Amino acid sequence: MKKKTSKIPSFYKLNPHDRLDYLKDFSNLSDVELSILKSMSGITIDQASTMIENVIGGISIPIGLATNYIINSKEFLIPMAIEESSVIAASSKSAGIARLMGGFKAKSLGNIMRSQIQLVNIPDINTATKNILEKKSDLLNIANRTTPTLHSLGGGAKDISLKKINTQRGIMLIVEISVDCKDAMGANVCNKIAESLSSILEDMTNGKSILRIVSNLATERLVEASAIFNKEILGGEEIINRILDAAEFANNDPYRAVTHNKGIMNGIIALAIATGQDTRALESAIHSYASLTGKYLPLTNWEKDSSGNLFGRIKLPVPVGIVGGISSVHPSAKICLNILGVKTASELGEIMASVGLAQNLAAIYALSSEGIQTGHMILHSRNLAISAGAGGELTDKIANIMIEEKNVNFQRAKELLNKLDNS
């Protein structure tokens, strides 16, 4: 059997149909799955109507494949849904450099989310606290009875902790339940658990429960990923020093750190949309984690290893799921999960962190050398050639001439088309 590889020379030159043929073999997709991908939307208006309220249509974002990924010794083609040009090319380029030194190593550090119950107007907070802690295991049992499937899989409510907060409206007691969400993103399960315990807690404390909801600050759902990028391939010591200078700029200036992290999110959110994740939950978890020390910091660290290669690391919360939610309902999201072949949410998180690291390297590498406009210009130039009427080999020819001439515009694309078409 042919060995599966995500390193596909000139993949970008294929037409979408030939790319789909490659993908079909790579990920064992069915003809139905291929036709859903080709349809560009994945769902009908009636299916959409069961997802949200007041449906009137849909908006389609292209899904592209980032190539070259090896993560934990496995080959991956990464589906990315994004409207911004160059992100997928940049991702594939970084992954191509990383694979020369073995690719990405990634590890999920846990699947715990916190569910919060806010209790107010408690007459005797110390007794209330004592009562709750004494009944901790009973409360956990009650919580787990509301989510029997998750519990039977080894997940569910694992621990309860309490915190008192002094507010302008008096002391509040916050009951936090640590929930192992396994392969679910976990918001629904955490909300359900919080609602199941609130009236019992009111009885135990003589207080009143107000909010009962998951916390999106997912500090117990962290993923780490790292990779080594070869010094010679990157272009030598000088460029590595420039990349380290760029990273240090982000370490010391929040205005830069936010943009640095935006580059990371280009990869993470593109994969999240493709696989049907709650992107708002990811954004809020990741950006709040970036500022947990009180200073907004970059999510990656860059250093030279003992051989002078560039070593990059990323650590961030990745609250994602592969069961429940849109990821198991939306046909395109299901297909994207099939493309990845992931069996657990942790594995999806590990891929997401690796993609974030790759995306960051691509951005700071380009910014520290040629800048990012060159990459953008290539695509822009091809688009102009196509809109001028070029096709096939002429597209690249015209695009390349315009870039060489530093004269990239529609008028020039038309002139070149007329000239080359008639020659």
| Catalytic residue ranges | 84, 262, 278, 376
Do the beta carbons of residue 78 and residue 271 sit within 8 Å?
yes
Least Å distance between CB 297 and ligand MEV? 14
DSSP 102: T
Question: For ligand MEV, which is the closer residue by CB, 107 or 262?
Answer: 262
Is residue 89 part of the contact set for ligand MEV (CB under 6 A)?
no
User: Rounded to whole angstroms, how far apart are CA atoms 225 and 299?
Assistant: 11
173 forms beta bridges with 119, 164
Structure tokens at 22: 């490659």
By CB under 6 A, name the one of 367, 379, 386, 394 that touches ligand MEV: 367
Do the beta carbons of residue 276 and residue 330 sit within 8 Å?
yes
Q: Among residue numbers 66 through 85, which ones bind ligand MEV (CB under 6 A)?
A: 84
Least Å distance between CB 94 and ligand MEV? 12
Least Å distance between CB 85 and ligand MEV? 10
Least Å distance between CB 257 and ligand MEV? 10
User: Rounded to whole angstroms, how far apart are CA atoms 208 and 218?
Assistant: 26
Strands 310-317 and 222-229: antiparallel
Question: For ligand MEV, which is the closer residue by CB, 162 or 367?
Answer: 367
Least Å distance between CB 247 and ligand MEV? 10
User: Rounded to whole angstroms, how far apart are CA atoms 385 and 382?
Assistant: 5
Kindly state the number of chain residues that form the binding site for ligand MEV, as judged by CB under 6 A: 10
Question: For ligand MEV, which is the closer residue by CB, 94 or 215?
Answer: 94
Closest by CA position to 159, among listed 193, 202, 201, 123: 193
Question: For ligand MEV, which is the closer residue by CB, 78 or 364?
Answer: 364
Least Å distance between CB 19 and ligand MEV? 24
User: Rounded to whole angstroms, how far apart are CA atoms 246 and 223?
Assistant: 24
Least Å distance between CB 102 and ligand MEV? 25
Closest by CA position to 314, among listed 368, 252, 260: 260
Q: Among residue numbers 215 through 244, which ones bind ligand MEV (CB under 6 A)?
A: none
Do the beta carbons of residue 150 and residue 156 sit within 8 Å?
yes
User: How deeply is 359 buried, as exposed, middle or buried, from its count of CB atoms within 10 A (0-12, 13-18, 19+)?
Assistant: buried
By CB under 6 A, name the one of 372, 377, 386, 420 that touches ligand MEV: 372
Question: For ligand MEV, which is the closer residue by CB, 259 or 288?
Answer: 259
User: Rounded to whole angstroms, how far apart are CA atoms 403 and 373?
Assistant: 11
| Binding pattern for the stretch 326-365 against ligand MEV, x by CB under 6 A and - elsewhere | -------------------------------------xx-
Question: For ligand MEV, which is the closer residue by CB, 88 or 175?
Answer: 88
Q: Among residue numbers 243 through 282, which ones bind ligand MEV (CB under 6 A)?
A: 259-260, 262-263, 266
User: How deeply is 62 buried, as exposed, middle or buried, from its count of CB atoms within 10 A (0-12, 13-18, 19+)?
Assistant: exposed
Distances (CA, A) of 166 to 109, 120, 174, 221: 32, 11, 11, 27
Question: For ligand MEV, which is the closer residue by CB, 21 or 83?
Answer: 83
Question: For ligand MEV, which is the closer residue by CB, 239 or 372?
Answer: 372
163 forms beta bridges with 174
Least Å distance between CB 12 and ligand MEV? 19
Least Å distance between CB 288 and ligand MEV? 20
Question: For ligand MEV, which is the closer residue by CB, 223 or 299?
Answer: 299
Task: Note the maximum CA span of the chain.
Answer: 91
Residue nearest ligand MEV by beta-carbon distance? 263
75 forms beta bridges with 70
Do the beta carbons of residue 220 and residue 112 sit within 8 Å?
yes
Strands 156-167 and 105-108: unpaired
User: Rounded to whole angstroms, how far apart are CA atoms 416 and 386?
Assistant: 12
User: Rounded to whole angstroms, how far apart are CA atoms 358 and 355?
Assistant: 5
Which residues in this chain contact ligand MEV in the complex, by CB under 6 A? Answer: 84, 259-260, 262-263, 266, 363-364, 367, 372
